[in-house]
Amino acid sequence: MIDATGIELRFGAAEILSGVHLRTHPGQVVGLIGPNGSGKSSLLRCLYGMLRPQRGAVLIDAQAVASMSRRSIARTVAVVAQDAAGDGIDITVGEFVLLGRHVHRGDHQGFTADDHRITLDALERVDLAGLADRRLHELSGGERQRVMIARCIAQRSPVLLLDEPTNHLDVRYQHDVLGLVRGLGLDTIVVLHDLNLANRFCDHVVLLDRGRVTCSGPPDDVLRGEVLEPVYGIEVRRLTDGDRTHLVFGA
């Protein structure tokens, strides 16, 4: 579990995050939402130690991230970053997913038969086992995102962090990727711009505005006009279609 309290982050004179509290929920998907520049990606980077806040603490299973090695963090937290699409990497899908096992090996240890089995299992779980010998750069955007998630599965870390995993994907792959993430049953935090995707796939939503948490709770409590309109500056209406609720924006 990740537990972040009182996170304050500055870049020079610019305040990026101020007094932020955030935690994972066992087996649930937490959506991190907010306008551009609200601090979502910076907060995510603080959670896995890529950025060090000036104040506050990030704990992973009650241990301070600041005191942990990169390998120790990776054994607990798997990350799909915005720039993890694999463009220009001349490597096969299977080889790329196998790299997720490196955190369980010493620097000069080779991969074992068990590592290869776990890699194949991960590819089967994202329905890409048949593409193990394909070059990563030959895949579609949606396929590559599933490969990134497969590497996280192979890593076998109990916490999963994703930074805009649906960016540049068409509607089908957006739902495909987030449905896959939700089905993993990991403690998950995902940065999302699409509020309807957050409404459908997240168990808990945290709304950031100018580096501060303005609201946090179940989607039905956070994704409401009176909460969102002051932050996004646009009218928000909720429409019900059967058992589904959709957000509509603008007059």
CB 42 within 8 A of CB 12: no
- Looking at residue 128, its pLDDT comes to 93
- Looking at residue 168, its pLDDT comes to 83
Asked if the model's pLDDT at residue 225 lies above 60, the reply is yes
Asked if the model's pLDDT at residue 163 lies above 90, the reply is yes
> Is the sign of the CA dihedral 98, 102, 105, 108 positive or negative?
positive
- Looking at residue 86, its pLDDT comes to 59
Helix (H) or strand (E) holding 119: helix 113-125
* Residue 224 confidence class, pLDDT cut points 50, 70, 90: very high
Query: Where exactly are the structural domains of the chain?
Result: 2-249
* Residue 109 confidence class, pLDDT cut points 50, 70, 90: confident
Question: What is the DSSP secondary structure assignment for residue 160, as one 8-state letter?
Answer: E
**What Rg value do the Cα atoms of the chain yield, rounded?**
19
- Name the residue among 111, 83, 77 with its Cα closest to residue 97: 111
Cα separation, 4 vs 19, whole angstroms: 10
Chain-wide mean pLDDT for the chain?
A: 93
Strand 14-23: give its sheet, edge to edge: 14-23, 2-11, 55-60, 63-64
* Residue 87 confidence class, pLDDT cut points 50, 70, 90: low
Q: Would you identify the CATH topology of the domain 2-249?
A: Rossmann fold (3.40.50)
Question: Tens of pLDDT along 49-74?
Answer: 999 999 999 999 999 999 999 999 99
- Global pTM reads 0.92
